[in-house]
Amino acid sequence: MIEEETFLEESNTDNIGVVDFEELKMKLQNDLDSQLSGLDYIKNDHEKIGDPENLGLTIMNVVWEQFLNQIAVTAGEDFIRENQGLTLDLRSEAHIQTAENFENGKIATHNTKIDYQTRHDDWLNNFQTDDNGNIVLIDKYQTGDYQKLLKKDARKPFDNNRDKGSAAVNKDHTISVAEIMRDTKANTHVDKQELIDFANSKKNINDLDASANKSKGDRKTNDWLDSGSAGQKPADRFDIDENQLREKDRIAREQFEEIKDNGEQKSIDTGKQSKKDEAFRITGKALRAVVMQLLAELIKEVIKLTSQKVWYRSSDLTKLDP
């Protein structure tokens, strides 16, 4: 019951609307009815339970303690078995993955809809690390903006079977693959295949002179266009339409942000559903434990009365002993 009360209290203050309380009420009632329906045998076996020949002080002192311990162990093991080997955790961060927690390695492992741990491990595997296991940071363009250093083959899934253009005119990613792979929000909330599909979509692919593409590298389009070399901007050096490229970048980024926002909402929605599912998994176990506790208390009282009968009978026999 403690777990259920905690869940209900949290639901009232955190993520209102996560749980349909009428549905939960009905679920609890059905579970309770189901648990109680199996207790009719108590009435039929009452006489047997109260028979001092079957129950005595030994049961009262030894079996009773073992019985209570077994209730707790069984209920706990059953729940963990049905909860992917995890103990109960109804905190939001255990189910709803945020980009900030993802960046810091705090994974919503209780989310049963999305495997964020695998997603996080795959993401980290894209970057080079030093001897201490720390991700290497570089300032490739000497701007003071340090970025995670990608492994040489990290972008291979993005380049497989895509049209790369010709030697003279390349098919350039408006938002570079490197930027997409480094983006924490994108890699937290969006499946990798969806990121690959966006990277190679018409909205993000642009024909660009090979020399211009080499100069751009993995920089943001606007940063590259604003840069200078020998007093000249890229638009002057490569005879390109700067306004067209900036507009292309705006459209691509608008689409990219929409994909990330949709992915973030999916993380929230699946997290709420996962949290609700886990709450419902515990309700049946909690109710079973409570009903068993009530049954145990009843048996305890019967044992107590039985023990008293045995004691009184023994006392009577002692008094009658000449």
Distance CA 305, CA 283 (A): 33
Tokens read off for 111: 């989310």
Residue of 125 and 48 predicted with greater confidence: 125
The number of helix segments (H) and strand segments (E) in the chain equals 17, 4
Range of the domain at 262: 100-269
Burial category of 70 from C-beta neighbours within 10 Å (exposed 0-12, middle 13-18, buried 19 and up): exposed
Q: What is the mean pLDDT of residues 105-123?
A: 96
Work out how many domains the chain is built from and give that number: 1
pLDDT tens for each residue of 56-112:
555 455 555 665 566 555 556 777 777 778 888 888 999 999 999 999 999 999 999
Residue of 256 and 9 predicted with greater confidence: 256
In a domain, 301, yes or no: no
Look at 144-148, 159-163, 239-243, 299-303 and tell me which has the smallest mean pLDDT. Answer: 299-303
Neighbouring residues of 317: CB distance < 8 A, sequence distance ≥ 6: none
In a domain, 121, yes or no: yes
Q: How confident is the model at residue 16 (pLDDT cuts 50, 70, 90)?
A: very low
In a domain, 227, yes or no: yes
In three-state secondary structure terms, 209 is strand
In a domain, 310, yes or no: no
Q: How confident is the model at residue 13 (pLDDT cuts 50, 70, 90)?
A: very low
In a domain, 229, yes or no: yes
First to last CA, the chain: 56
Residue of 82 and 245 predicted with greater confidence: 245
The residue among 284, 281, 273 whose CA lies nearest residue 112 is: 273
In a domain, 174, yes or no: yes
C-alpha R_g of the chain: 33
In a domain, 8, yes or no: no
Q: How confident is the model at residue 7 (pLDDT cuts 50, 70, 90)?
A: very low
pLDDT value of residue 3 = 44
In a domain, 225, yes or no: yes
